[in-house]
Amino acid sequence: MTADGGDAPFGIRDRTRISRSLARWAKAHPRPNRPVLEVADGSQLTPRAIAAAARAPDSRAGALIYSMFALAVEDEMRGPHELEQILSVFDRDARRWSRRGEGGFGPPEKMQ
């Protein structure tokens, strides 16, 4: 059971936060149409497709995105993370890309 009272990995409030964060990230991404995630079946998702999937949690891709967030929140190997902490990484990248107004990726920053 979620904090919002649902049985899904995330309640509506958290799904909205995830969806909005991914939408900002995809909009600012320097290469929004280049695949950044490959699924086990060989399909690939671009930042725009990831953001669209987050808006459709009942879709196949949406279920995949939310299950990945759920795994990150409950990560037993590296320790659990707060959802806010995970979203802050996407938001930080979006702000950085928006400020630069250019593409390019720097070295990944460690999640605190």
Tens-place pLDDT, residues 86-97: 999 999 999 999
**Which pLDDT value is given to residue 4?**
41
The model carries a pTM of 0.79
Q: Please report whether residue 112 resides in a domain.
A: no
The reply to whether 106 falls in a domain is: no
pLDDT for position 75: 79
Note whether residue 108 is domain-resident: no
Would 109 be classed as within a structural domain?
Answer: no
7: in domain: no
**Average pLDDT of the chain?**
84
C-alpha 50/C-alpha 3 separation (Å) is 24
Find out whether 90 and 97 touch, Cβ atoms under 8 Å: no
Count of domains forming the chain: 1
pLDDT for 111 equals: 42
Q: Is residue 4 a part of any domain in this protein? A: no
Q: What was the pLDDT predicted at 108?
A: 46
User: Token pair for residue 103?
Assistant: 């593409």
Q: Name the residue with tokens 């409950």.
A: 74
Instruction: Confirm whether 6 is domain-assigned.
Output: no
Helix locations, 1-112, DSSP H: 12-28, 47-54, 60-73, 83-100
